[in-house]
A and B are shown apart, each in its own frame.
Chain A
Amino acid sequence: MSQKRAHLMRSPFHSEREAFRFLMVLIVAVLAVVLAAALGPGWLALLVLGLMFGAVALRWAQLRMRKVRGLELPVKMAPPHVGPATERRVLVVANDTLGEDALLGEVERLASVPDTRVLLLAPALISSASRVTGAVDKLLDQTRVRLGTALDRVGHAPVVAGEVSAAGPLQAIEDAFATFSPDEVVVSTRWDDAAGGLQPQLGSLVRERFAVPVRHLVFESGSAAREPDRDTEAAYRHGVGEAAARRFGLRALAGAGIAAAVLMSMVALVHSSERQEARAASQVAAERAAAEPPVATQVSLSVVPEYKRGPEGEKHDAFTVTEFTVRVGHPQKLRIDNTDTVPHSITAPAAGVNIVVMPGVHTYALIVKRTGTFLWFCTFVCDEWAMQHPGYMSGYITAS
C-alpha cells in the first residue's frame, strides 16, 4: 500500500524551464502594453493588448484542435458489470443495416449462447434540422418499424430486446451503458457514409470511448458482414477528426473575426474620441484666444520728467504708458523714448521683468512667462513719489 505522504503544492508547469519561459513571455507582454500606453496614443495600447489576447486564443485553439483531431490520449471508460457473473451482455447498435440477414444471423448466434442477453439499439438518426423543426416523429416511427421487423425475424425474446433512441448514436450508446452495462458492443454500419444510416466512423469512436471489446461489422447490401482492418478504422477515425477540426476551425475563424471586428471598433472608437477631444481642445483654445482682449505686438511710449500733475498739484516724472497687456511667452516690443538724461527701468520681480530704459529712443522686448497681473516700478532713483504711484513711474503688467 502507498505510504501516507504530506500534500504538496503542485505547480501547473511541467518544469522550471517552462515556468521561466512563461514568466519571460508575461514580462514581455506587459512591457509591450505599458510601452504602447506610455509612448503611443490610447488605441495603440488597446491594439497591443488585443494582439496579446489573440496570441493566447490562437494557442488555445491549437491545443483544442489537437484534442478535436484525437491526438490527445483517449481514456476508455465502462461501468461495472451488471447481473450474475456468468451473464454476458451484448449491445448491438444498428439502424440502416437492421434488415441485413448477416446481421440478424449474428444476433441469433449471440442469443443462442447460454447466459447471454442482447440489446438491439437503434438510434433514430435525427438531424439537427429535424430537431429544430420538430419533425422527429416520422424518423422515430420508421426506426421503430425497422427494429420491430428485425426483432420479429430474430425471435429469442426476452433474450433479445430492442430499444429506439432519439439521441445521437454516441449519446444513445452512452445511455445504454448506464442502463444495460454491456460487456461487448457490436456496431453495424455500411462501408460508406450513407444518408439516413449510421456513419462507418462510429465503430472507431465507440472503441475509443468505451472500455469493453468492440466489434465493427460492415455490410454491403445482401452480403456477409466484414470487419474493417486497422488501417480502414484509422482512416475512418482520421476522417472524423478532420471533419471535427474543420468545424472547429470554421467556428474559431468566425469567433476570431467577431473578436477582431470588436477590437477594431474599440480602437476606432478610442481613436475617434481622442481626435474629437483634440479638436474640442483646440476649438476651446481658439475660442478663449478670441474672447481675450487684443494684444499689441508693439507699444510706443516715452519717459518724460515732470510729465503729469499729481493730486497735490505738483508735476511728476512719468511713463506715458504704464499699463501693459501681454501674452505669456510672447514678446511685446516696447519702443521707448527716454527724454530724461538718466536711465530708468520697468522692473517687476514677480514677473521676472527688468528692462533698463536708457536715455534716447530704443526698442526693448517685454516677455512674461506666467499669467497674472504684476506691479512694476522704476528702480532708478528719480521722482520718489512717482516711483511709488502707478500711473507715473510705476504701473501694471497683465499677462494671459
Chain B
Amino acid sequence: MTAIDTTPPLPAEPGPVPEAYAASKKPLVGQQTWAWIGITPFMLFAILFLIVPTLYLVVGAFQDPDGHFTLQNIYDLFTPSILNAYWLSIKVSVASALLGALLGFFLAYAVVLGGLPAWLRPTLMTFSGVASNFAGVPLAFAFLATLGRMGLVTVLLRDLFGINLYGAGFNLLSFWGLTLTYLYFQVPLMVLILTPALDGLKKEWREASEILGASNKQYWTMVALPVLFPSVLGASLLLFANSFGAIATAYALTGSSLNIVTILLYAQIRGDVLHNQNLGYALALGMILITGCSNGAYIWLRARAERWMR
C-alpha cells in the first residue's frame, strides 16, 4: 500500500554550482574513479534486498521444479481460478482508481479553485495525509464497524429509514464493498497528488482565454484539461497499482473468501495451495508486470506533467 509524503515536488535541476567549481572541475576528495565507493552500501542493499529477490521469482517463473527452462508455468496461469483472481483484482483496482480519481479531482478542485474558505484547504491536506496512510487492517475494522451487518450506518438506515442494506443485496465482503473501502485511502492520495497540479493552472491562462472569447467549457476542454491530463492519468495509474498490490485491508475484511490475486499469492506462500512452487513464481511475475507497467507509466507521465509546474 502506498503512503505519500507531503514534501514539495523536487526542483527540476540541481541548484547552481558555484562558478569556481564548475570551472576547475577539480575533485574535492581523492580520485574521481574511486567516487563510486561512496554509494556501495546503498547499491549492495538494493541488490540484496530488492533486485535479487525479485529476479529470483522472475527466473523461477520460467523453470520447472528441476530447474529446467519451461513456459508451462506461464500457460498454467491461464486456468479459470487464477484468471478469476487476476480479473477480480483488476476490476477492484480499476473501479477504485477511477472513482478515487474522480472524487479526488472534485475534492481537490473544490478547495483549490472552488472558492471555499481558505482554512479548509490545509485541513483537507492534513487529513488526506493521515487518511492515505490509514490503510491496512485498521481500515477494514473501521468499515466493518460502519457498514458491516451490525455497523452504525447499516443499523441507522434500518431503524430510522427502514432501508435494509443487506436485504437489498449489499455486502461489504464483495467487489463493491472492497472498492468502497479502498476509496478511503485512494481519494486522499488523489487529492495529495492533484493539488499541486491544480495550483499549476495559471490565472493568466484563464484570463487569456476569456479575453480571446472562450467560454467556460472551451477553457476547460481546450486549456485546463489538456494541461491536467498527464497528472490525472498518471495519478490514476498510481492509484491502480496501489490497490492492485494491497492485501492487508482485503484480508482483514474478507478473510480468504474474496479471491483476489494478492490473497491467492498469500495463501500460496503460506501453504502452496497451487501445489506447484514455480506456478507461484509465475503468479508473482504476473503481478510484477501489471504493477510495473502501471507505475512505470505513472513515473513517465509525472515527468511530463511537471513541465507545466515550472
Partners in one complex: no
Chain A residues engaging chain B, CB cutoff 8 angstroms: none
